[in-house]
Structure 1
Amino acid sequence: MSKVCELTGKRPIVGNNVSHSNRKTKRRFLPNLIKKKFYIPELDKTVTLKVSTKALRTIDKLGLYAYLKKLQKQGKSIPVKL
């Protein structure tokens, strides 16, 4: 299963672990993803999405339906048919 937010598109990035002696080894920074069920009363649907915590905060602020409309207006693909 991929570690990508379905709404924001956040994905793992690559960086370095740096030791005290300044040796560098590759590592991955993983996004903070949560699998969550959402109910959309406007569509009378329940959807399960894998979202980042940043997307969750935005959903709490705007509401899921408004956030999906905003993403659709920006031209991003959304996993729910509106």
Structure 2
Amino acid sequence: MARVCQITGKRPRVGNNVSHANNKTKRKFYPNLQKKRFYIEEEDRWVTLKVSASVLRTINKNGLSSVLKKAKAKGTLVI
């Protein structure tokens, strides 16, 4: 499975390693993804999502159902 957040769509970014001599080589910045099981009360089932740490904080703050609803409206939800 790709290193992509299933709620926000965050994916690896490309940048440079810069040495002391200012040599530049390509590298990737990966999102902080975690595999987490969530319980959806409306559907009475468990789902496993690969989400970024920032989304975990958002889910704790706003609730899973509202975060999923916003992601569906935005078009980034991948389940």
Give the structure-1-normalised TM-score.
0.89
* Equivalent-residue separation in structure 1 for 2:7 and 2:46 (angstroms): 16
User: 2:59: which partner in 1?
Assistant: 59
* Equivalent-residue separation in structure 2 for 1:72 and 1:34 (angstroms): 20
SS in 2 for 1:70: helix
* 1:7-64 Cα shifts (integer Å, max 9, x gaps): 0000001100000000001100000000000001121110000000111111111111
User: 1:37: which partner in 2?
Assistant: 37
User: 1:78: which partner in 2?
Assistant: 77
User: 2:4: which partner in 1?
Assistant: 4
**Structure 2: which 5+ runs fail to align?**
none
Number of aligned pairs?
A: 79
* Equivalent-residue separation in structure 2 for 1:28 and 1:79 (angstroms): 23
The percent of aligned pairs where both chains have the same amino acid is 59
